[in-house]
C-alpha cells in the first residue's frame, strides 16, 4: 500500500498532525500541568502531568509515565492519561527530544529514549513540587510503538541493533526499513541497556523493534507486563516486533491481540478536522470502532496498573 512506500510523505504528515494538535488545544485534552526539566546531556525535556482528585491530602500516589511513538508528543495518549488520573494515578508524559513533531532529527535513534524516561522519573520523584507526593515504590510505564520499545528497555530488555539491520537486508520493503534507509542507525552511539528498576509494571502497545532485544535479557524480565498487538498492524509487520517480546519474557505477559485493529488505532479518536486532514493516521478499518475500543483499552490498562502497583 502507499503508506509503506512513502515514508517521507508520512513523516511530513505526522509532523503536520502533531503541529495541528499542539496549535489547537481544543483538539486534545490538555494536561493539568506542562513543564520542562533539564537534560544533563544538554537542553530541556518537555512533559505534562495529569493529576487525580484529592490534591493536598498528603497521600502518596502511584506514578505512571508515558512514552509516545515516533514523531509524537506528551499529549499523544491523553485519553489513557486521563483515565489513569481519574483512577488515582499521577500520570507524567514526556516529549522525546529528537523524536517529536517539532524535531525528527533522531527519530530512529530509539536507544536514547529510555534515558529520557528515567530522567522524567528522577524529576517526578525528586524535584517535582506538585500538590501531591509520589509513591516511589509504585511506578509503572506505558509505551506505544517506539514507546513500547522504550518501556521494554526500561523493564530490562537489552537491545542490539544488529538483528534489525539483518532484518532490513531481507525485508527492505517494510516501512521501518525504508525509514532506516533514509536515516540509518548510528551503531556506535547505540545505548543497549536502558533498564530502570524503579519501573515495577509496564503496558506495551503496538511494540516496535522487538527483534532487537536479546533472549537472555528478556528472560530476566519478571515484572508484570500487559501487551497489546493490533491484529492487522500495517506498520510493524508480524512476527518481528511484538512476538519476540511476548515469547521471550521471563514472566508470561497478559497479552491482548485486537482483531481488526490497525497500528494507529492505539491513538485516541481524531476530531473531524484532523481526520479529514490526516486520514492515514486517523483511519480505522471498516467495522472497527476506535472509540469503543479505547473505552475497553483504557479500562483494561487502568485495571492492570491497579492490580500490578
Q: Given this model, what pLDDT does residue 68 score?
A: 98
**CATH 3.40.50.1010 is right for the domain spanning 2-308:** no
Rounded to two decimals, what is the model's pTM? Answer: 0.91
CA distances from 276 to 17, 55, 269, 283 (A): 11, 39, 12, 10
How far is it, in rounded angstroms, from Cα 66 to Cα 18? 17
Q: Given this model, what pLDDT does residue 55 score?
A: 67
Residue 129: burial class (beta carbons within 10 Å; 0-12, 13-18, 19+): exposed
Residue 209: burial class (beta carbons within 10 Å; 0-12, 13-18, 19+): buried
- How high is the mean pLDDT in each 10-residue block of the chain (309 residues)? 32 37 41 96 97 84 97 96 97 97 92 98 96 96 98 98 96 92 92 98 98 98 98 96 98 98 97 87 96 98 98
Q: Given this model, what pLDDT does residue 25 score?
A: 33
Q: Given this model, what pLDDT does residue 29 score?
A: 53
Q: Given this model, what pLDDT does residue 278 score?
A: 83
How far is it, in rounded angstroms, from Cα 290 to Cα 43? 37
Chain centre distance of CA 274 = 21
Q: Given this model, what pLDDT does residue 31 score?
A: 92
Q: Given this model, what pLDDT does residue 34 score?
A: 96
Residue reference for cell 508515558? 66
Amino acid at each position: 500500500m502507499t503508506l509503506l512506500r512513502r515514508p517521507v510523505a508520512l513523516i511530513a504528515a505526522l509532523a503536520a498532525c502533531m503541529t495541528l494538535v499542539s496549535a489547537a488545544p481544543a483538539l486534545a485534552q490538555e494536561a493539568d500541568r506542562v513543564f520542562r526539566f533539564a537534560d544533563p546531556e544538554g537542553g530541556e525535556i518537555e512533559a505534562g502531568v495529569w493529576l487525580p482528585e484529592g490534591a493536598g491530602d498528603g497521600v502518596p500516589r502511584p506514578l505512571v509515565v508515558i512514552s509516545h511513538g515516533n514523531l509524537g508528543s506528551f499529549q499523544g495518549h491523553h485519553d489513557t492519561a486521563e483515565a489513569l488520573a481519574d483512577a488515582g494515578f499521577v500520570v507524567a508524559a514526556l516529549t522525546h527530544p529528537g523524536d517529536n513533531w517539532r524535531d525528527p532529527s533522531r527519530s530512529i535513534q530509539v536507544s536514547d529514549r529510555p534515558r529520557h524516561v528515567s530522567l522524567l522519573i528522577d524529576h517526578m520523584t525528586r524535584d517535582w513540587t506538585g500538590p501531591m507526593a509520589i509513591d516511589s515504590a509504585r511506578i509503572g510505564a506505558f509505551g506505544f510503538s517506539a514507546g513500547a520499545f522504550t518501556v521494554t528497555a526500561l523493564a530490562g530488555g537489552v537491545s542490539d541493533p544488529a538483528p534489525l539491520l539483518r532484518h532490513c537486508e531481507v525485508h527492505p520493503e517494510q516501512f521501518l526499513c525504508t525509514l532506516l534507509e533514509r536515516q540509518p542507525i548510528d551503531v556506535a552511539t547505540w545505548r543497549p541497556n536502558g533498564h530502570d528498576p524503579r519501573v515495577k509494571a509496564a503496558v506495551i502497545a503496538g511494540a516496535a523493534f522487538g527483534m532487537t532485544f536479546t533472549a537472555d535479557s528478556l528472560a530476566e524480565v519478571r515484572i508484570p507486563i500487559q501487551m497489546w498487538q493490533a491484529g492487522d498492524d500495517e506498520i510493524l509487520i508480524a512476527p518481528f516486533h511484538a512476538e519476540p517480546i511476548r515469547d521471550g519474557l521471563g514472566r508470561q505477559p497478559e497479552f491482548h491481540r485486537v482483531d481488526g485493529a490497525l497500528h494507529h488505532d492505539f491513538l485516541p479518536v481524531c476530531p473531524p478536522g484532523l481526520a479529514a486532514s490526516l486520514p492515514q493516521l486517523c483511519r480505522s478499518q471498516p467495522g472497527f470502532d476506535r472509540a469503543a475500543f479505547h473505552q475497553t483499552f483504557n479500562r483494561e490498562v487502568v485495571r492492570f496498573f491497579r492490580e500490578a502497583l
